[in-house]
Amino acid sequence: MQGDISKPASAKNAVEEVARQFSGIDILINAAGIGPYLPLADITEEHYRDIFDTNVLGTVMMIQSAVPHMPAQGGRIVNFASRLAYNPLPGSSVYSASKAAVICLTHTYARELGARNITVNAIAPGVIETDMTRDIIAQRGEGIIAQTPLHRIGQPDDIAGVALFLASSASKWITGRTLIADGGLN
């Protein structure tokens, strides 16, 4: 299903359609996001709004739309943040701030939704080899590998396992937490 989560109506429609097709929603994984970097001098209102509308407003709208469709016995929400929320790089200010906001939302909604037995957690990946990170890896890949005890760039499967764990009943006593999954990056 295609949609633009930066548009509240699109996010709500996507959730409603999934809930209709599957008679509810047990797990919500908020993985959509954008992250173009710009130095301070080049940041525009459009740049800021594009990132915050997708990464922050989109997360809020998806959660707000999904929660009414979660079963009485509870559910799981997993948000994607970024290691850059803790250690931003030059040029990543708006993206990093948006992911710090996702961490704040995660911790807040865990408290709000705990009484409904809905866990809310986040994953803060380091550099993972995707289309979004192609340029970063080309520019700084060797340095990242040198600073990572596992001596490699992360792969999507490295994060998928963390998401599966947080979405499973094995994590039922974990909520309001952000797991940093960065290969031990120094």
75, 114, 127, 138, 147 from 82: Cα distances, Å:
23, 24, 9, 19, 17
Quick check: 98 and 143 in contact, CB under 8 A?
A: no
Residues contacting 95, CB < 8 A, separation 6+:
34, 35, 36, 37, 51, 55, 82, 84
Pairing of strands 178-181, 27-30: unpaired
What is the CA 73 to chain-centroid distance, rounded? 24
Instruction: Map residue 51 onto helix, strand or coil.
Output: helix
Any catalytic annotation for residue 48? Answer: no
**Tokens, residue 185:** 């990056």
**Active-site residue, from 37, 86, 95, 109:** 95
Active site residues: 95
